[in-house]
Amino acid sequence: MEHLIDKILKIGEKNGFEVDIFLSKSDSTSADLDGDSLDSVEKNKDFGIGVRVLKDNKIGFAFSSEENEKVIYKAMENLVPDEYTNFPELAEKYPNPKGMFNREIIYMGEKELIDDLITMEDILAESGITITGGGISKSYEYNKIVNSKGLNVEEEFTYYSASISGIKDGETAYDYLTRTYKFNVEEIANTVKELLTLPKSIKTEYEGNIVLTTRALSSLLGYTFIPSFNAENVQRNRSVLAGKIGEKIFGENINIIDNGTLDYGLYSAKVDGEGTPTKRTVLVKDGILKNYLYDIKRANIEGKESTGNGMRTYGSLPSVSASNFIIEPVEKIDNFNEYLYVNQLIGCHTSNPITGDFSVEISNSYIVKNGEKIPVKKGMLSGNIFEILKDAIPLDKVEQRGKLISPPLLINGKIII
């Protein structure tokens, strides 16, 4: 790889180009269920190299899955005007988040993956639940970013994922989890078991306190809220947060941080996809909007510095994206005696990413009243996420689902049938 990288850098230098190289390798193994039977065990390997070149306020890009220098010639042919993109200098210091690489995952064999599948399957089967699907996977990823300004950063990542779904008496439930380390899969199997062994659900409307779990929030906020902090959306007037830095836009209970340096965070790293050191960026403090998320290009447009949120794969150009998007907890859920607990939201992709309006279906939900759980059949929840967050209360029991690290959120709302 070093020989290939040197070759590409020299070709760029000879032709008067600045060069940026993003090299990625990955190796994964997965085992999947088809119903309650083992369907397949698959192994996949991937390699790719993406090259950007800069010259005279023009940028070119090309990528390849082949290990040769031809990719830079394609990049030099694909030039388009771009006066704002540049490549970062070598930084004096880079963050080093812990827990991103766990050797235990590397050495896991197929048998261990299958054993974990069987563990989840047995937990559901013992309760008379029909398994409809499930899967276990482990993966390793290696990234290296090099540019002609002297930047040379390499990182290793591991991921372990599990999912299981089942059906009983016409009710379905599903759960999944991904971590950078091996975890106990009984956790998600028991969640599905609990949801499917509750008393028979009732059909009822509900108005009052509603608790959205981190899993439900991950889907909803991913479509309606997190993109509004993206500086590109702000600059293109595709965010209701445009021009509101310093304004109180949410309730005082809302504190939000984007942190790419977090230990054990799923989206932590030393650098973003451009080679900029990752950072901890305060976005909302006591309900007041403090910042947006930037990559190099969007930061240069406003004369600012990148927040280390230029994300990419070898096959794409960098674009602004959140890393670990954190909502801080405020109050304990045990302080509330009655609420509707919503585990899953269906149809979040139909939400309006600009206005924050949504109308979604609740699933795997139950009313909690003085410690008793009363399952509720599906209903509709509608609203506007920006209005909801003016009175919402983040609770305790923080976990990470996708990019979101958050506790459940207590809101006031209404469920209709």
Which DSSP string do the residues of 283-317 spell out, in sequence order? Answer: EEETTEE---B--HHHHHHHT----S-EE--TTS-
* pTM of the full structure: 0.95
For 177, list phi and psi in degrees, rounded to 5. Answer: -160, 145
Question: pLDDT tens, 227-246?
Answer: 999 999 999 999 999 999 99
Q: Is the pLDDT of residue 417 over 90?
A: no
Percent of the chain with pLDDT over 90: 94
- Per-residue pLDDT at 36: 82
- Per-residue pLDDT at 197: 93
The pLDDT-based confidence of 1 (bands split at 50, 70, 90) is: confident
Question: pLDDT tens, 289-300?
Answer: 999 999 999 999
Q: Are 396 and 407 in contact (CB under 8 A)?
A: yes
Question: pLDDT tens, 110-151?
Answer: 999 999 999 999 999 999 999 999 999 999 999 999 999 999
The H or E element that residue 388 is part of is helix 385-388
Question: pLDDT tens, 43-72?
Answer: 999 999 999 999 999 999 999 999 999 999
DSSP designation for 129: P
- Pairing assessment for the beta strands 325-327 and 404-406 based on DSSP bridges: parallel
Q: What is the mean pLDDT of the chain?
A: 95
Look at residues 122, 162, 155 and name the one whose alpha carbon lies nearest to residue 140: 155
The pLDDT-based confidence of 200 (bands split at 50, 70, 90) is: confident
- Per-residue pLDDT at 170: 87
CA-CA distance, 240 to 256, in Å (whole number)? 17
User: Residue range 77-90: average pLDDT?
Assistant: 96
- Per-residue pLDDT at 185: 96
Question: pLDDT tens, 304-321?
Answer: 999 999 999 999 999 999
Domains for the chain: give ranges and CATH numbers.
2-195 (3.30.2290.10), 200-417 (no CATH)
Question: pLDDT tens, 375-390?
Answer: 998 899 999 999 999 9
- Per-residue pLDDT at 406: 97
- Per-residue pLDDT at 235: 97
Percent of the chain with pLDDT over 70: 100
The H or E element that residue 26 is part of is strand 18-34
